[in-house]
Structure 1
């Protein structure tokens, strides 16, 4: 079992080692592939945190990258692709993905929720994060019973249902790349983090409503891969207290893809 308190969304990209990062290479393959996974593919992004209105905080801008550096057959018992991030601050991190029948998979530990004010207990496993044949699907669900948490310095018990769901959004034409110079058809997928329940303060044993949904949008471009990743900011309100979920956005600047 793996136990986590506050885990940020996956797809927080590090910095590639500047190999070919000043050039922009497109695929010559005419097959429409939203999840190109050849070893050597890489993507360079600019990333920002978002304010409570969903606007970019320009002072938080970073240039981040991700590259497919190999494959493995030992992670969670199946063949998968290794996506290596290179943070600007140093240090590398490997994440694992694979495609099958047009679906895009990763492990649940890679998408565990951002900044939530309560712990989630889970066993790592493969999950679908993009499914072209489904309007929506379940990723994870957990009942929370009398969980001890602290909100705004007030101790209490949490009861309710936490869930993660996937949704297929719209396909649309989008401009991407540095200067928005690349026009591409993109398919949106969403990961929805929801909680519905009650918080009961220890000093005032009256259950208070606690309900919220945090949405992670991901747009994948034809024969490119992920071109825009956005976590909407959200305010969790429970009577006396507001807990702010910080938003983020990563937009592709340039890429190299050979499918």
Structure 2
């Protein structure tokens, strides 16, 4: 019997949650398309996935250069992709932690363009392929910030609230189509770049959110949630997964151990 492997495309796959999700879905038997701007990182990850393939396959992972803020880049990616069964919209991020009174509109624009319009561009481009496959699945990586505001996070909170609204609206609009819609909303996740990007390379500020937290989530924890959702039976839709470390009760409520 010939086993047809499904294809999963992951945006923001060059690091963090995206990279972990690509590796996990490859281990689950998917052909994975790694999409991000940093091609060198993608190529290295492709080699890592190929080396880990128990069957020694070299065609189970490919890299695609993608900038979700560019319609031209998104269109080129979609045109080059023959099929797609799972789309993981992971590209996004936060900039700054200023209150609304001191917020930089340029930061908000950048966050909206990536977290919201980027999700729209990629999803719209790939929906025909997801539907044509007969069992498509869109997984949108948001944040607990998509549902619970916190001080200093208004720009990111607003962008992720918008992403969550798109997720829920899509489920309504596509209820008659063979496409599942899932939101994964992580809490405090310690990755190599999220906080560092947010604070523009200031390592002292970037490390502060994790100070005293014994076990923040890892990128692998979030990838585990994605893998579980997409491997449920095709008639089962996991609407939303909120995942946070045990020591976190809300974005602003975290138990920290004094140093």
TM-score (norm 1): 0.30
Larger radius of gyration: 1
TM-score (norm 2): 0.30
Higher strand proportion: 1
Higher relative contact order at CA 8 Å, sep ≥6: structure 1 or structure 2?
1
Higher helix proportion: 2
